[in-house]
Amino acid sequence: MKCKFAMLLVTLIFIVSPAMADKYVIDGDISDWGVDLANGFTNGQYPTDANEKAWYTGLKYNTVDWVVEDNRDPSLSSDYIGVHIYGVGTTKTSTYSEKLLHFGTTTIAYQPSGGEGWDIEALYFDDDEYYLYFAIVVSNNQLVPDSFSCSNGQPNYLGPGDLYLSVLTDSGWKEYGVVIKSHPNIDGDKWVYQGEVYENPSWYDDLYEQVCGRTGWNEVEKTLIDPENPGANIPNAAEVAIAQAPVSDNEYPNYIIEIKIDRTKIGYPKQGAQGPVEFAVSCGNDYIEKEITYNYNTIPEFTAIFIPAAIIIGSFYYFRMRRQ
């Protein structure tokens, strides 16, 4: 009888144990997604069909949501332009029309304002039963200072912002922020740290407004999580890696940001549910957004399944043995 009980427990472990291998390795290398960066960039030339296809035809899974907005939108500008498309898997669904930026009531600018040094090139999303995966291609990875200040009205930190996502859960919509790089509050005495996830965080507007007290970009409202009001910290929920890519765009080096988020820590996103994702550089000179679709139901953590099942099976055999 004891042998049968042990065999049942072993069988249960094999049935409910999660797969060992992650869908993507979180190391700042986008090659395992299947993106051909070397042939995707146009370096200011008008984008060709080959440039477009390099961004998506090699993707390994048809569950990937993606948007590419390299350089300026060709429908708005005739110089410094690049691929502007979005789609799912290896299918391009449409061209991507990038919004003009309005600085207060007077200045109108193309994204990225200021040129390549503030360019967000692309954003990719995929998932499996256990994790959400993101890959973001940028041309900016500046170091974070100990505190922010203004020089001629410019914030001295113009690096990547944090990732925003809104998730539909059983209890309604919940908002989350993922810290991409550790950064302080304006005074430099409070910090949030890379890889931390916060529920319902407060956000800095673009740093022109937040730090310099100037009129800023009207369209950009979320750049960095506010370390003074970050919301509820969710421990051990995400992993973030940043690495320089082996390519450059318009003589600026590119960087890959990869993120993995535990589904069980952010409300168990359900299969077929949709929600927005946003990412901006901290100054607000460029931002990218995408409505993503969750492709899988969340599988609970192993212990959440195994312990109740073991109790049920154990109780069954206990009472059976008492009757005998």
Q: Could you read off the pLDDT tens digit of each residue along the chain, which spans 324 residues?
A: 545 444 444 444 444 444 458 999 999 999 999 999 999 998 778 899 999 999 999 999 999 999 999 999 999 988 899 999 999 999 999 999 999 999 887 789 999 999 999 999 999 999 999 999 999 999 988 888 888 888 877 788 889 999 999 999 888 999 999 999 999 998 899 999 999 999 999 999 999 988 988 888 999 999 999 999 999 999 999 999 999 999 999 999 999 999 999 999 999 998 999 999 999 999 999 999 999 999 999 887 544 444 444 455 454 444 455 555
Q: Distance of CA 178 to CAs 197, 245, 265, 289, Å? A: 5, 22, 12, 15
What's the residue count for the chain?
A: 324
In degrees, rounded to 5, the angle at the alpha carbon of residue 309 between the alpha carbons of residues 303 and 312 is: 140
pTM: 0.88
For residue 75, give every residue at least 6 positions away whose Cβ sits within 8 Å of its Cβ, in sequence order, or none. 84, 95, 97
At what angle are helices 302-323 and 2-16 packed, to 10 degrees?
Answer: 160
CA-based nearest residue to 62, from 83, 85, 92, 30: 92
CA distance 199 to 171: 14
